[in-house]
Structure 1
Amino acid sequence: MTQSHPLGVSRPDLAVADLPEPEEVFKVRRIGAKELFQYAVGPSLIALGISVGSGEWLLGPQAVGKFGFIGIGWVILVSAILQTFYNVECSRYVVATGETPVVGWGRVPPGFRFWVPVSVFVVIFAFIAGGWAASAGQGVYALVHGVAPPKGAEEPRLYAIGLLVVVFLLTAAAKRVSRVLELANWVMVGTILLVLLVIDLFVVPFSLWWEAIRGFVTPAAPPAGITATEIGGLAGFTALASGLNWYVMGHYRDKGYGMGHRAGFIAGLRGERRELLASGVTFPDDEVNRARWKRWYRLLLVDMWGVFFVGAILGMLLPTILMAHAVETSGRRPTADDVPTFVATVLNQEYGAAMFYLMLLIGVLILFSTQLGIFEAMVRVTTDAAHATSPRLRARIEGDPRRFYYPFMLVLLVVIAVVLHLAVPVSLVQWSANMSNLGALIYPFLLMYLNSRLPRPARPRPWHYVVLVLNFLFFGFFFVNFIADFLGDPLITF
């Protein structure tokens, strides 16, 4: 590879090579419907495993349980649409260059010494609170004891820490970390959505289904009494994590999408050592590569719109209508303390212990899939950033990113185990969700800079930039309001 493609500042030029054919990457004769789901679909499932979690099981049902669908549903739909567009733009860069977003940010002025550490800090700061882990621990406690944990109980926190250890063991047992996460989420997300769909069809009256669907498409002012901070948390964690969604999109590199096939991946401890390039690779603008890019881009759209978006909408719809039914049936509303177990408790009174434990199990799967994705992603982002920007570290670990990945995961596990003692889970989740909105003030503009400098076939169309600006306006407003509310005076009240 003698050619190079300059992109941005402070980082080496991208090497240039041909895009691979999808059949070459996935080792099949052709990509049909079966091969599409067996081999090509995957990174969206990891994102969906995080997506169908804190927002869908905690913040969405809590908001709907207190205030109903009208005035809230449209926030969910708009958030999911904007975030899916944003995910595609983040992934566009990964597929075209083989670089994960945290490495790509280092190409934006003033350069990697500023953007890379800032980006790692923002991701860690947003998710270190551990609300996703604490909530999963609450679900396990209820599954074991048959009741919601008392306020301030230590046992749920111990379960949360135990689940973090499970994440470590899963990744350690992998040959390729991303593949293990995909398979785990195929099982968990598939089970979650199928079971919730069957239960909803069985117990939720049609009138509530219609109210929920109508709420998604009815423009209406938010209901009286809800705060903009609560809406911001709901918007931030509907679908994924608004402006910070990029922290999961690096899995397209490890899946081998486009130039990710040339860049390498993070292997598990059972896998063979695999070189991970410190700088990316892109493709020449010629007829062959233009055709191949179109194929990869279509696969990306199927993965994001066909799997992630549909799954995110179902993941929010199904738990929230169950919550609405539970509120209507019981005459009570969930609180921040009991929202993880509220539906199971109400359905126990209607349908008995079997339904109670089934719902608790589904809750644990939902929150553990989030825990799995977030915990691993924090480690992955930090590993990618350190490996790409520090020649000294690469020499020290002898080019094997696993020598940083696994020790850092253990350190992070200990830190989260301490931090999750600080507040009730839903409060921690709302903090993370609103911190995710901070990313919308920053990263859409970094994406515009990077993607406008890709090889011409991979560049976005003008209307894609408009959608990125809408992400900035929509999610950015909620973060500014969150800060104003934190300081004492929210920008708007309802």
Structure 2
Amino acid sequence: MVGASGRPVPPAAVGEHQIGVSRPPLAVDDLPEPEEVFRVRRLGPAQVVQFVIGPSLIALGISVGSGEWLLGPQAVGTFGFVGVGWVITVSALLQTFYNVEVSRYVVATGEVPIVGFGRVPPGAKLWIPFSLLVLYFAFIFGGWAAGAGQGLFALIAGRPHRSGELEYVRLLGIGLLLVVFLITVLARKISRSLELANWLMVGAIIVILLVVTLAIVPGSVWWDGIRGLVTPAAPPEGITATQLGGLAGFTALASGLNWYVMNHYRDKGYGMGYRVGFIAGLRGERSQLRHVGVTFPDDAANTSRWRRWYRLLLVDQWAVFFVGAMIGMLLPTVLMSHIVATSGQRPTTANVPTFTATQLGAEYGTWMFYLMLVVGVLILFSTQLGIFEALVRNFTDATHASSPRIRRLIEGDPRRFYFPFMLLVLAVIAGAMHLALPTDLVQTSANMSNLGALIFPFALMYLNSRLPKAARPRPWHYVILVLNFLFFGFFFVNFVYELFTGGALVKF
């Protein structure tokens, strides 16, 4: 067998480790050393930045998107920081803890979450289709794609679209989906190409927003924004729990559905992901991808290696994802608050993707209009890139792992399923984009993400409690997962009530 780095992998140690039901037992092998996986002599800070950080960047590229550029600025622009900011902070903290617990399973077994959930009773025939259904229902509507098209239209036309031009916006969103397809087709290793794309896009977004916001926003507004993030307060009058739930669901990433992007820890080669393989691009050399994971024996050497991998996971999640998500939310919301105060205008669901560019362009000139449109397009395209690819990746991983017939048809090469299926998903999203305005679609997706928090934290408790002893969570980790259930679940219940009755269950 060939590992994720392309090097031969030693034969598995004798023995198997069963987790849950309905899936074959995991093979048992030694954890690799990080230096072996990343092909370095020593793993210092420079090497961590250069080689280890990556999966969190893909998640951050999605994160600094629908929530940070659309829902967060819209909420702050309409209601202010007080009573809204603390929801952002709590959501980001809970989601980062949740990400670590999802990734714990991936690093310890090499199995991606959609496959691991198949081990939870009553088994794969329920949990794999159900997990895919929830994931697709949350994201297939394409609000993130339509939002990117809206920004691109304004960038090309030099103005926001008019009511009769929405179809052009949707066509541009579809065109950007084709760009994602080309990026994956031309990649040697798909995960690595996504990492590099997000290094460029997220880096440019944060630098430009930081410079612009520092240059034009008074210190008092910055202080209000920072204070709003850390000060508990009652939600502002007039906001509904559904609006707050959309903000909570898409702050950081996608609340209970964050698992859908953690597959990249396997493809990066973290821990036992190195023993399992990855999905290569068409230009890359085929990697043998196991359909069943591998875990490690409980001994002193593997316990020591696990601690190293877990520390690297914490760095990737807390130093990159959490910090980046908070900065990514603070900058656009502070900027939006200043714009609303100086212009006297408020964003709406129809114009929020281009509102910042339009208002700053009117005050500072055409160059600022185009600069902020570029930022908006980069933000929403990075979201589009991550979500679209993840929809295809999760279905491919689930099918490859659970269907011997499909594995025979594709001759063990998941690329033969991945790329044709990507074109199918593209066609479905193209149709779904016609259902509503971009921001309305994003609001629905965000609240559907909260549904995942009612379910998947308990699946993780089941799976992670059965890992090798060194990898099992501590008791307080389970408490954090229950808090995810309570916090995001509250918002989902309100969303469902409003959806069916037309009135808010909780209004402040």
2:94 aligns with 82
1:430 aligns with 443
Match of 1:57 among 56, 66, 69: 69
Structure 1: how far apart are the matches of 2:439 and 2:487?
23
Q: Say if 1:174 and 1:180, in contact at 8 Å, map to a contact too.
A: yes
**Are 1:39 and 2:45 matched, yes or no?**
no
Aligned length: 494
Match of 1:130 among 130, 142, 162: 142
Match of 2:110 among 93, 98, 104: 98
CA drift of 1:65 comes to 0.3
CA drift of 1:76 comes to 0.1
Match of 2:124 among 101, 108, 112: 112
Deviations 1:228-250 (A, max 9, x none): 11100000000000000000001
Match of 2:494 among 478, 481, 487: 481
2:245 aligns with 232
Deviations 1:183-236 (A, max 9, x none): 000000011001100111001100100000110111111101111111000000
**Are 1:8 and 2:11 matched, yes or no?**
no
Q: Say if 1:151 and 1:337, in contact at 8 Å, map to a contact too.
A: no
Structure 2: how far apart are the matches of 1:122 and 1:397?
26
2:162 aligns with 150
Letter in 2 for 1:59: L
1:140 aligns with 152
CA drift of 1:490 comes to 2.8
Match of 1:261 among 266, 274, 282: 274
**Are 1:205 and 2:192 matched, yes or no?**
no
SS in 1 for 2:353: coil
1:490 aligns with 504
Q: Say if 1:95 and 1:258, in contact at 8 Å, map to a contact too.
A: yes
CA drift of 1:151 comes to 2.5
CA drift of 1:491 comes to 2.4
Task: Spell out the pairing of 1:164-313 with structure 2 (5 A cutoff).
Answer: 164-313=177-326
Letter in 2 for 1:216: L
Structure 1: gaps spanning 5 or more residues: none
Structure 2: gaps spanning 5 or more residues: 1-11
Q: Say if 1:72 and 1:222, in contact at 8 Å, map to a contact too.
A: yes
Q: Say if 1:337 and 1:426, in contact at 8 Å, map to a contact too.
A: yes
Q: Say if 1:57 and 1:340, in contact at 8 Å, map to a contact too.
A: yes
CA drift of 1:268 comes to 0.3
1:357 aligns with 370
Structure 1: how far apart are the matches of 2:93 and 2:217?
26
- RMSD between aligned alpha carbons? 0.6
SS in 1 for 2:434: coil
Deviations 1:61-120 (A, max 9, x none): 000000000000000000000000000000000000000000000000000000001101
2:3 aligns with none
CA drift of 1:474 comes to 0.2
**Are 1:337 and 2:350 matched, yes or no?**
yes
Letter in 2 for 1:490: A
Structure 2: how far apart are the matches of 1:232 and 1:89?
22
Structure 2: how far apart are the matches of 1:272 and 1:144?
38
1:444 aligns with 457
Structure 1: how far apart are the matches of 2:395 and 2:444?
21
Structure 2: how far apart are the matches of 1:269 and 1:411?
18
Task: Spell out the pairing of 1:347-386 with structure 2 (5 A cutoff).
Answer: 347-386=360-399
Letter in 1 for 2:206: L
**Are 1:458 and 2:443 matched, yes or no?**
no
Match of 1:24 among 8, 25, 36: 36
TM-score by length of 1: 0.99
CA drift of 1:255 comes to 0.1
SS in 1 for 2:27: strand
TM-score by length of 2: 0.97
Deviations 1:264-318 (A, max 9, x none): 0000000111111000000001010000000000000000000000000000000
Q: Give structure 1 regions of 4+ aligned residues with deviation exceeding 6 angstroms.
A: none
Structure 1: how far apart are the matches of 2:340 and 2:158?
20
Q: Say if 1:99 and 1:260, in contact at 8 Å, map to a contact too.
A: yes
Structure 2: how far apart are the matches of 1:261 and 1:156?
42
Structure 1: how far apart are the matches of 2:163 and 2:238?
25
Structure 1: how far apart are the matches of 2:346 and 2:100?
37
Letter in 2 for 1:144: I
SS in 2 for 1:394: helix
CA drift of 1:121 comes to 1.0
